[in-house]
Amino acid sequence: MRIQSITILLISLTILAGCEESIEMQASIGQQAPPFTLQLTDGQTMKLDGQSGNAKAITFMSSWCPCSNESIPLLKRMHTQFKDQDIDFLMVGIQDPENKFRQFVLDYDLPFPAGYDEGNKIARSYGINSPPTTVLVDKSGTLRRIYYGNIKDMESDVFTWVEEIL
Amino acid sequence: MEWTTALWGGFSSFFSIWQICILQISPFFMVYILGLYLTTDEDSRINPGVRLLLPPALYMIGFSIIYALLSARGISAGRLLMSNINNLRIAAGIFIGIISLHFVLAARLRDMNHLLWPIVLGLGPLLLGISFALIYSPCVTPTYAKILQMSVASETAGQGARLALIYGLGMGLSFSVVGLALIMIVRPMPAIYKPLLRNFSAAVLGVLALMNITGVMVYYKAFFLGLLV
């Protein structure tokens, strides 16, 4: 009886969970960056639509990830250094409960926009499975670089990469 | 990068600060390997060496193949897996749930376990390795970061995938070594406690299955791993 109950519970949960839509991984270095629209934590919306405009420095982060936490001071320095140039900074919360990510953004007092990636859809379209990952898109909307991992000790590299896309 | 560097990088991550991140799967592997051992413990007809060594070996193979493919974003198989990762995680959760049920039913299925030992000790650990690779959000250690940089560019994706395979084997090896050590500790335990431990393993795997089927695994990561950040 107990086994039947567990089996029924598993099947019911599976049906309830349902299937999610497949998100095609589109990101390739040197190709157009996958477009997306993201609802920001301040209620605004940010769009990356493949049209020319500002360059983008996008970081995919999770509140629970030590490397994400350690990367933030450098991201703030990057923002201070380049904020008056043609570049938008954005943090995307992935693999996190939304409330945890919102608190994380508040705790670190981010000086640039952040938004929560519901269902990790944007991350999947960029082929990102782990935080932190930093993505650089140039002014023409071309994906120039994806860097996986902690950037805390990479100040000169990261600053050079940003200068390359400006 | 040398293959030995990748192997050591994967192996040593288990015994380093990166264990914080590996906590996503490491406790679940330990209860699995213990539960599986206790499920076939009383069956003297299965070679003890096979019973002890085959499951971790096949787990390592399953884990590292999918780990490598998920790392290789520059090749089509990796992109396909990444595109469907959420549904694959649900499927992995269902399989882990079946393993959990098997542990619960172990005492009733003694003869079946003996007849179907290649499935219980072979296919099961192989599929569990695949499942764990799917549900795991890899820790981007310095060595793994270098491998990922290779894997993302199409011209070096093959080399990146090979190194990711070796890195995954290194991780699997560390899991196996610790799992085998745990079995050695549990082995002399009085027989009366063994069903309790097996049922505990089943319960823990059942929780992992539910977390992945319902998509609340992120709360486990955020809560438990967040405590350590």
Chain B residues within an 8 Å CB radius of A120 = 86
Q: What is the ipTM of this complex?
A: 0.78
Answer whether B137 sits within 8 Å of A131, measured CB to CB: yes
pLDDT in tens, B80-137: 888 888 889 999 999 999 999 988 887 777 777 777 778 888 899 999 999 999 999 8
Q: Which two tokens stand for residue B187?
A: 């082995």
**Domain ranges within chain A, ordered by starting residue:** 23-165
- pLDDT of res. B68: 92
**Domain boundary assignment for chain B:** 3-12+28-40+48-224
pLDDT of B152 reads: 79
Count of C-beta atoms within a 10 Å radius of residue B202: 23
pLDDT above 80 (res A22): no
Cα separations (Å) of A149 from A18, B136, B139? 32, 16, 8
**A49 vs A156, residue with greater confidence:** A156
Say if the Cβ atoms of B138 and A129 lie within 8 Å: yes
Confidence of residue A115 (pLDDT cuts 50, 70, 90): very high
Q: Contacts of residue B152 in chain A, CB cutoff 8 Å?
A: 29, 127, 146, 148
Measured between CA atoms, the residue of chain A closest to residue B97 is A10
Say if the Cβ atoms of A22 and B82 lie within 8 Å. no
B165–chain A nearest CA distance, Å: 16
Binned at pLDDT 50, 70 and 90, residue B42 comes out as low
Helix boundaries (H) for chain B: 3-13, 19-22, 26-39, 48-71, 76-83, 85-104, 110-115, 117-118, 124-135, 142-152, 157-186, 194-214, 217-220, 226-228
pLDDT of A23 reads 65
Residue A139, class by beta-carbon neighbours within 10 Å (0-12 exposed, 13-18 middle, 19+ buried)?
Answer: middle
Establish if A27 touches chain B: CB-CB under 8 angstroms.
yes
Q: Give CA–CA dist B37/B56, Å, rounded.
A: 11
8 Å CB contact between B35 and B23? no
Domain spanning A23-165, CATH architecture: 3-Layer(aba) Sandwich (3.40)
So what's the pLDDT on residue A16?
56
In this structure, what token pair is assigned to residue A107? 């705790």
Mean residue pLDDT across chain A: 86
Predicted pLDDT at A15: 57
pLDDT value at A28 more than 90: no
Strands A133-137 and A55-61: antiparallel
pLDDT of residue A71: 92
What mean pLDDT, rounded, does chain B reach? Answer: 88
User: What CA–CA distance (Å, rounded) separates B135 from B25?
Assistant: 8
B128: exposed, middle or buried (C-beta count within 10 Å: 0-12, 13-18, 19+)?
buried
Q: How many Å lie between the alpha carbon of A128 and the closest alpha carbon of chain B?
A: 8
Q: What is the mean pLDDT of residues A107-130?
A: 90
**Nearest of A120, A129, A141 to residue A47 by alpha carbon:** A141
Q: What is residue A25's predicted lDDT score, i.e. its pLDDT?
A: 63
Nearby residues of B16 by Cβ (< 8 Å), 6 or more positions away: B141
Q: CA of B1 to nearest chain A CA: how many angstroms apart?
A: 17
Which pLDDT band holds residue B4 (cuts at 50, 70, 90)? very high
At A17, the pLDDT band (50, 70, 90 cuts) reads: low
Closest chain B residue to A150 measured between Cα atoms?
Answer: B140
Q: Per residue in A50-86, pLDDT tens?
A: 666 899 999 999 998 888 889 999 999 999 999 999 9
Q: One-letter amino acid identity for A110?
A: L
In this complex, do A3 and B70 lie within 8 Å of one another by their Cβ atoms? no
Token reading at B163: 């190194």
- Whole-number pLDDT of residue A86: 92
Q: What is the pLDDT of residue A160?
A: 94
